[in-house]
Chains A and B, each alone.
Chain A
Amino acid sequence: MDFLRPETLAEALELKASRPDAVPIAGGTDVMVELNYDHRRPSALLDLTRVPELRQWSDGLRIGAGVPYARIITELGEQLPGLAMASRTVGSPQIRNRGTVGGNLGAASPAGDTHPVLLASDAVIEVASTRGTRMIPAAEFYLGVKRNALEQDELIVAVHLTPAKGPQQFSKVGTRNAMVIAVCSFGISLFPQENRVGAAVGSAAPTPRRATEAEEFLASALDFRNPAPLLDSVKREFGELVSRAASPIDDVRGSAAYRKHALAVMARRTLGWAWQELLDGERACA
């Protein structure tokens, strides 16, 4: 096995082009488990922790793929409340000190915690190779169970997100708060000026996915400019549509039927919280 240690992004892309078999490693929270358990013997590891370009974020926002969850929580919680909420549910403090959104995207597990938020918030994934840069909307990034849109010679460089334009929420079901792979999860982002919401489910289909019909329903059922208290019928219908967007399986973490039920509950609750925040905001402005 080779251990490749680039110190610039250009060098990392050169190495990935010449060694497409090299497995990128940043926080190691997935890759090292596979190595420790002998589940994987790559011919090379490509260590990305020394590439400064990957470990910075800039206004706009462009978040380097190697910024750990702990920094997203402390540095970006105001601008990206949904992503910060999802980041807080990742593993444990030690895991959040190392793990990165880039790693979540690279692993592309349907259960990855940040995916529903990235989908609901219209994130765009920046990937690069020596051939150039591609901007891939999150909705086109997840192709199958642990499969993403990356080509062999490409690396995930950054995630582009606009600072929240309205309330955002994230919810996750697991057996305890810490160190849990999601049984299922749900993210919602309100875009009041555009009279729409983003909504996406995690760990409830072969890929994380948007609940498009649920989004369209809310866009037509809600008046974001003059928000009134939510009707129970709207919450119920939204939950129902979110649940219908999922196609979960029975597995060790939970049954398909439970996941469908829990998604409807999470969708109703998170919509309620987000909408209340919108109402409170209106009142504060009045």
Chain B
Amino acid sequence: MRVNVTVNGEQRQADDVWEGESLLFVLRERLGLPGSKNACEQGECGSCTVYLDDVPVCACLVAAGQAQDREVRTVEGLADGDALDPVQEAFVEAGAVQCGFCTPGLVVQAHDLLDRVPNPSDPEIREALAGNLCRCTGYEKILDAVRLAASRR
């Protein structure tokens, strides 16, 4: 089937999409947007977090057809040209990135948190990121990054 979807403000079209395919597969393999990562494919790890109509979701759990005529914003859509989003900058500066695989999902999820709660408490940060797994950092630097981004927004 054909899927028409707005991705990062641009009208996109994917053809020959299998009806049982996930939005994540469409983004990565058909639309050339490999920022969202594919790891668990069951919503456990949060690496594929994207905005769907402004709500963060696991792209692996959205059927491609469900994204028809919807708006998707991926990690690629957060930066303004070469200027990184404050959340992305904070992740770099705080050393919150090691292997980098979980980073796109964490950045999108943290971005949403700071949009809703400009000055989150530590428990609020932990709760917001509870669905994003990182196996490298031990999370401390990630919490630092979110606090840093909050202080700058």
Contacts and interface: CB of A to CB of B under 8 A. Distances in A.
B109 interface: yes
Contacts of B1: 3
A94 B66 contact: no
Q: Is the interface on chain A under 10, 10 to 19, 20 to 34, or 35 or more residues?
A: 20 to 34
Contacts of A49: 66
B130 A177 contact: yes
Contact of B43 (A1, A33, A41, A70): A33
Interface of B: 1, 18-20, 22, 41-44, 46, 49, 55-58, 60-63, 65-66, 68, 109, 127-128, 130-132
B57 A97 contact: yes
A27 B22 CA distance: 12
Contact of A1 (B19, B62, B130): B19
Nearest to A28: B61
A95 B20 contact: no
A230 interface: no
Main secondary structure of the interface of A (DSSP, over half): mixed
A246 interface: no
A62 interface: no
A255 interface: no
A272 interface: no
A28 B46 CA distance: 15
B132 to A, nearest CB: 8
B147 to A, nearest CB: 18
Contact of B130 (A31, A70, A93): A93
A228 interface: no
Given A94-B46, A95-B43, A179-B130, A28 B18 contact: no
